[in-house]
Amino acid sequence: MKTIKILFFASIILFIACKSKNNGQENKIQTTDSTAVTNIIPENTNGKIPEKTMQLSEKQAVLLIQDFHLTNRCATCKAIEAAARKTLETYFKNEITEGRIVFSIIDVDDKANSKIAEKYQAAGSGLFITRLLKGKEETKDLTEDGFSYARNEEAKFIEILKKQISEYLK
């Protein structure tokens, strides 16, 4: 009986140690093709628009890319985020640095995010690109494309996302 208790507690300690080992890797994203992408995207988890971005939107198009998710995320939701990050970091580094693109990852289960989730009618997973220009907003919902392609045809999803972002930046 004593041996069983020791094994039980050892298993729990091992589980906790393995689980916490991943906590230091917030700055890397594991993509579906198993390559790590360094995170150049500033952390934005509340969907708030930075002042610099709002000022830019008076003169040129700026984009808000909102990735909504539940607290417990499925593999496809994670793949959508990874592909979106990969797209932004590969093709739109300058626009991110300039503040023309803001990427937000928003947990809809967090009550602090209820207003933005309601605005986009996001009750679960969703990927939205909103173009701001001279006080006007235009939004494209890419959730269906994300669920269709992000996991199994990542390159196709990245191409769809890249095309929409490029079109909205014009």
Give the residue among 169, 94, 82, 60 at the shortest CA–CA distance from 127. Answer: 82
Average pLDDT score over residue span 127-155: 94
- Lowest average pLDDT, out of 22-31, 99-108, 140-149, 161-170, goes to 22-31
Burial category of 129 from C-beta neighbours within 10 Å (exposed 0-12, middle 13-18, buried 19 and up): buried
pLDDT at 7 over 50: no
pLDDT at 8 (0 to 100): 52
In the structure, what pLDDT confidence band is assigned to residue 42 with cuts at 50, 70 and 90? low
Tokens of 156: 């196709």
CATH superfamily of 29-169: Glutaredoxin (3.40.30.10)
What are the pLDDT digits (tens) for 57-95?
Answer: 778 888 999 999 999 999 999 999 999 999 999 999 999
